[in-house]
Amino acid sequence: MARLVDNPELAFRLARAIVSDIALYNQDKVREGIMKDNIFELLGEEIEEGREHFRSRIVPDLENPDHLFDRAIVDVMIKQAGKIESPIW
C-alpha cells in the first residue's frame, strides 16, 4: 500500500496530477463546460471521483484538503482553458 501524503505542498501536487488526468480524459467536456459555463455540472461525477481518490491518498487530518483540490481544479482545468470562448471571461 502506498504511503499517505502528509505534506500540503505534495498533496497539492497530487491534486493537480489527478485534475490533470480528469481534464486530459475529458477534453470535450471541459471545452463544452467552459463554453457553456456548466463545467461543474458536466464533470461533476468525474470531479467527485477524483476528489475521493485524492482523499484516499492523503492523511485524514491534512488541513483544508478540499481547498487544495479546488485550487487544483482552477489552476489546471479552468485557467488552462482561458483561450476557449466563454461568457465567463
Total-model pTM: 0.91
Alpha-carbon distance 75 to 23, whole Å?
11
- Pull the grid cell for residue 61: 487530518
Alpha-carbon distance 78 to 68, whole Å?
15
In a domain, 87, yes or no: no
Q: Which range of residues forms the domain containing residue 21?
A: 8-81
Domains: count for the chain: 1
Query: pLDDT, tens digit, for every residue of 14-71?
Result: 999 999 999 999 999 999 999 999 999 999 999 999 999 999 999 999 999 999 999 9
Alpha-carbon distance 12 to 19, whole Å?
10
Query: pLDDT, tens digit, for every residue of 76-86?
Result: 999 887 788 87
In a domain, 1, yes or no: no
In a domain, 24, yes or no: yes
